Amino acid sequence: MLGRLNHVAIAVPDLAKAAALYRDTLGARVSAPQALPEHGVTVVFVELGNTKVEFLEPLGEGSPIAAFLARNPDGGMHHICYEVDDIVAARDRLKAGGARVLGDGEPKTGAHGKPVLFLHPKDFTGTLVELEQV
């Protein structure tokens, strides 16, 4: 079911500062900021040869990232994203096995314009898992 690792997401209190650190200090290619109001975040992607690192900053007062940063003021790893061929089939298989899909269980459009779902961290060794259809 799982394909390749798509990205590792890191919540940050200052998106511009994090992007500049990776761009200027590490010499990485960093995308332009992208606001995702449906998810309550603004993101940038650090492009690597075989995957990406996503930086997340809260967008709006109801942002789930704001609560994460309240517990982790310096930021930290927020989730890991894996690719799947068929997100609905993956969701149905996971739910049948007892995994909890967050939200209403329906895929939403993610930062790459593709369907995504999030899985409860308590079902996956304490890690929030995002699935993205490729």
Per-run averaged pLDDT (10 residues), the chain, 134 residues: 96 98 97 95 96 96 92 97 98 97 96 96 97 97
Q: H or E element: which one contains 84?
A: strand 76-84
- The reported pLDDT for the residue numbered 98 is 97
- The reported pLDDT for the residue numbered 87 is 98
Q: Is 54 known to be catalytic?
A: no
Domain ranges of the chain: 2-133
Q: Which residues pair with 83 in a beta bridge?
A: 132
- Assess contact for 42 and 17: CB atoms under 8 A: no
Provide the CB-side half-sphere exposure for 91 (13 A, CA).
19
Give backbone dihedrals phi and psi of 121, rounded to 5 degrees, phi first: -60, -30
* pTM to 2 decimal places: 0.94
Catalytic residue among 54, 57, 130, 132: 130
- The reported pLDDT for the residue numbered 127 is 97
- The reported pLDDT for the residue numbered 61 is 81
Q: Which CATH superfamily is domain 2-133 in?
A: 2,3-Dihydroxybiphenyl 1,2-Dioxygenase, domain 1 (3.10.180.10)
